[in-house]
Structure 1
Amino acid sequence: MTRRTLISSGVAATALVFALTGCSSPTGAAEGGSGATADPATATSAADLGGMDALIAAAQEEGQLNIIARPDSWANYGKIIEGFEEKYDITVNSASPDVSSAEEIQAAENLKGQDTAPDVFDLGTAVALESTDSFAPYQVETWADIPAENKEPSGLWVNNYTGIMSIGVDTDKLTAPAALTDLLKDEYRGSVAINGDPTQAGAAFAAVGLISEQHGGSVADFGPGVDFVAALNAAGNFLTVDPTPATIASGETPVVFDWSFNNIAEQANKPSWKTVVLDGPSYVSFYNEAINKDAPNPAAARLWQEWILSDEVQNLYLEANAMPVRLAAMQDAGTADETLVDAAGLGSDPATWVTADAKETAAANTLLAERWPAAIR
C-alpha cells in the first residue's frame, strides 16, 4: 500500500463541498489552446491535433502508454487500465505500482529520453506543485466541468479523485474505535498502523492530518497529531509495519489508517474488515493527474488524460468509493451513478471535511520532517 507523497488538495474545504453538491460550470470544450499543430508533444488540447479522432489515431500509432504508481486495487485502476486498453487498442505498461509521488518524478528524470519513461503521473499535491517544470500543459475536452480550484489554469495538472481518511479494523480481532482516544487502550497493543511514512507517502500524511484535526491541531499544525502517535508508540500500540493487503489478510496489521477507498476495497477479501469514519472533522484530499513533458508516447499520454476525466472513468472512481472531481457536473448532466454516491461518502457530512492548501501543507511537512522520526523511535 505504500503510495504517493505529501497529499493535500490545494482546495478549500468549501470548494470541496461546492464540488460535491451540484454547483459546477456546465460541460464544455477545453478553454484556450495554442493553435493547430501536428506534434502531439506540444498539443495543449485535442483541438490542436484536429479533434479527438485525430488524437486517438496518433495515440494508436504510438501503440503504448507507460504509467507508474497505480496499483490495480487503488481507486479501481485495474478496471481503468483494462478499459483504456480495450477501448483504444493501446497497450498499457504499468511500472512500479507502489512507489511514492517523489519516486514517480525521480523515475521520469532517471529514464528521460528512454522509451520506458513514464508518460503520465498521479501525484500528491505537494510533489505536484514542486514539479510543474516536469509537466506539459493540456486541457481535456471536459475542462469546463472542473472547478477552477481543482486545476492549474494552463492544464499543467488537474485533480482527478479524492478519498476520506478512515480507519480500517479487523473486527474479528478488535472492537472498532468510536473515538481516536480508544486506540490508546490496551486492547490495541501492537495493532495500529498507518499507510506509509508521512514524510513520504500521501495516505500517511493525511492520516496524521486527520489525527491532528481530531486531537486539537489543524491541517497546518500537525503537532498534536505527532504527539498522539508518539503516545500510541509509547503505549506499545503503534506499528511501524507498512500495511499491505497481505499484512491485513494475515492479521499482522489489524488497524490501518488509510483512504476510505482502500479500506473499503479490503472488505472484499476480508469480510471482517470494517471501515470507520470518526465523528468530527474528516480529512479529504485530491490527487493530481499530469503529463510528463518528456513523455515517450505524448499522444497516448494526452488520450489517457482525456480518459481519466471522462464520465466512464469518473464513474469507475466512484465505483471504488473514490470521489471523482467532475461529480457535480456529472450529477447535473445525469451521467453519475447516483447509487454509488452515498456509499462513497460513507455517510459523512461534507460540512465536516477539511483539507489543506499549499501553504498549510508546507507548514505541516516542515513539522513532520523535524519531529516524526523521534516520535516513533
Structure 2
Amino acid sequence: MKGLQVKRSLLTTYYQFIELIKKERIFLILIGICFFAAGYWHPFPEYAMWIGFMLAAYSAIANDSIQTIGTFLASNHDRAWYQLWFFIGGIFLFTVTYSWFTYSGDVSYQRLATPALAEAPDRFTFLQIAAPIFLLIITRLRMPVSTTFLILSCFSADLNGIFDMLTKSLGGYITAFVAGITVWTLISRWISRNFTGTAKPYWRVLQWITSGTLWSVWVMQDIANVAVYLPRSLSSAQFLGFAGFIFAGLGVLFYLRGDKIQEIVTEKSHVTDVRAATIIDFIYAILLFFFKELSNVPMSTTWVFIGLLAGRELAMSFMDQHGHGKPYKRTFRLIKRDILYAAIGLAVSIILAISINPDINRELMEWIGWQQ
C-alpha cells in the first residue's frame, strides 16, 4: 500500500511538471534563444554589449517593477495600460536625458564611476551576457532578487567593490525595515479610521506625483545595472538606442501589467488602495534619495523595498486589534520568504562573480584563508 502511494505521488509530480512545461513552453523557448544568442555573440564585443544591454534592460526593470511601479500598477488597475506607459516612460526619458547632458554622456548618474566599475568592458564572457537571462528566470519564479548584485557583481573588478555594495544594501534593508515599523505604527490606526470608502480625487493626483518621483529616483540609482554593458559616455546614436529600447520595454511591461512578479505586491495588505500606495511610494522615494546622496556606491534597491514592506506588514499586524495574533503567522511567512529569495539572488550573484572573474576568486580564497 505504501509503495502504491509513493508511485501515485511520483506520477502526480510528473504530470504537474509536464503541465508546467506546457504552460511555460513559449517562455522556455525564448530563454533558449537568449542563451544561444549569448553564446554566439559574446566573443564580439561590439555586438555583445548591445545583446547584454537589451537582456539586462528588460530583465532588470521587469524584476524591479515591483518596487518602483508595482504599487502604481496595483492601484491603477482600472486605467488603460498605455496611459500608465506614457507617463512612466516620459519620466524615464527626462531622467536619463538629464544625466546624459549633465555628466557628459553618462546615463548612470555616475554610479559607474566607482573604481571597481569605472572602465567599460572591452570584452565579455558568456556568463556576463547570460547573467540577465538567469534574472529573467528568477523573475518568472516571482523572486524579488537584487539586480544590482546579480549583474554588477559580474563586472566588479575586485572583491571590495562587492563588499561595499553588500554593506550599503544591508544598511538599506535595516533602515527601511525600521522606517516601515515606525511610520506604520504611528499612522496605521489613523489610516484605518480615515481610509474608508472611495478615495478623494486629489489622492490620485498625489499618487501619480509620488510614483513619478519614486520612479525617477530609482532610475538614478539602478540604471547603472543596465548601462554597465555600454560605454561610460554614450554618443547621440548610442543614447537613442539605449533610451528607445527601454521605453519600448516599459510598454511591454505595462501591457503585461507587471507579469508574474507583480503578485509580490498585490499579496501585501491594502496596496491596491491609492492612498496606501501613495504613502508607500513617498516613504520609499525618500529612502532611495537619502542613499543616493549618501554615496555613489551602487546598492540593492530591492533590499530597501522588501525591508520597507516587511516593516509595514509587521507594524500593521501589531496594530490590528482584531487579529488576535493570527496575522503574525502570515506576516512572518511573507518576510521570511522575501529574505530567502533575496539570499538566493545574492548566492547566485556571488557564484557568477567568482566564475567570471578569477581575481575575485583568488581574493575570496585568500580572505577565507586569512579568516581561518
TM-score by length of 2: 0.25
Structure richer in strand, relative to its length: 1
Whichever of the two has the greater Rg, that structure is: 2
TM-score by length of 1: 0.25
